[in-house]
Structure 1
Amino acid sequence: MEIEKIRKTIDKDTDEAVEDILTEVEERYGEIPYIVNFMKDMPELFIPRMIYENSVMREFRRMDPKTVELICIAVSSALRCEYCLKTHVRVAKRLGVSKEEIFDSILIASTISNAAVLAEGTRSLDSEFSEDESEKQNSRDGTCTICNIASELPEEE
């Protein structure tokens, strides 16, 4: 969101600012997403959140709206947020994104999610079954033998 637009929004009467934001959201999405509707009665949280969200998701010029929605779809898929996913699929469809493009973003998300599971799982497995006693001791001390970062987890007994 441009600074001047943010100032104008903040300077408005609270109810008017909320209504203006809701109107903008509905124009952009074609609907009012659940979270937005839920938070509208908490203007002290709603207004700053929406200003931030608009600044990140809609107002910068480095990505076009279709790309932003494809990223939202991928992240929603990876996080398994059914409601966000359905909302962003609808928005992408309204923007003219094809079913195939949407599916490609879901495939990419599934590949990265799969890699994350494998990376975490194999690191734990490798750490536990390491033949090097110093690596085992580091692991027991809470230090990752691969990235050398200390863990915050309690020690095993």
Structure 2
Amino acid sequence: MDLENIKEILEKDEDEAVSDVLSTVEERYGEVPYILNFMKDMPELLIPKVMYDNSIMREFERLDPETIELICVGVASALRCDHCLKMHIRVARRLGLTREQIFDAILIGGALSNASVLAEGTRALDDEGNGNSPSCDSDCDSCNITGSDR
């Protein structure tokens, strides 16, 4: 969305701006995502959100729409956002992506989600196992747990 389009939208009355923005979203996705329908009575939130999202996800010339949707599928999988995941799977299918391509994105999202859990958990285990206690005062009952308290 270029600056001229943004200016045009901002100069419209709220109802017309919301209608135009949601029409553009529906053209791109083939549907209007739930959250945007939910926000349609809040133009002061909806319009900037759609403009921001659009500038990041739809205006790139470096990534094609199929790649962007596969990223969306992977991230929605990793975040375990069922609603986003289902919608982006539908969009990916409309773009002609195969079940296998979509599954690959889900696998990548799952692998990164798993790696995140492992990275956080093992770092916490190492920190606590090496005696690296949090920096709070010595009278903190939570920090002064001994082996017999576990």
**TM-score, normalized by length of structure 2?**
0.88
Q: CA deviation at 1:139?
A: 2.7
Distance 2:18 2:134 in 1: 52
Partner SS state of residue 139, structure 1? coil
Matches within 5 A, 1:7-86: 7-86=7-86
Q: CA deviation at 1:103?
A: 0.4
Distance 1:72 1:41 in 2: 26
Unpaired runs of 5+ residues, structure 2, are 137-141, 145-150
Residue 109 of structure 1 pairs with residue 103 of structure 2: no
Partner SS state of residue 141, structure 1? coil
1:139 to 128, 133, 139: 133
Query: Residues 63-120 of structure 1: CA distance to partner in whole angstroms, max 9, x if unpaired?
Result: 1000110000001000000000000000000000111000001111111111111111
Structure 1 counterpart of 2:5: 5
Question: What percent of counterpart residues are identical?
Answer: 61
Q: CA deviation at 1:49?
A: 0.9
Residue 89 of structure 1 pairs with residue 89 of structure 2: yes
Amino acid of the residue matched to residue 139 of structure 1?
S
Q: CA deviation at 1:35?
A: 0.3
Higher relative contact order (CA 8 A, sep 6+): 2
Q: CA deviation at 1:12?
A: 1.1
Unpaired runs of 5+ residues, structure 1, are 131-135, 143-154
Distance 1:10 1:129 in 2: 56
Count how many residue pairs are aligned between Structure 1 and Structure 2: 140
Structure 2 counterpart of 1:145: none
Distance 1:14 1:58 in 2: 23
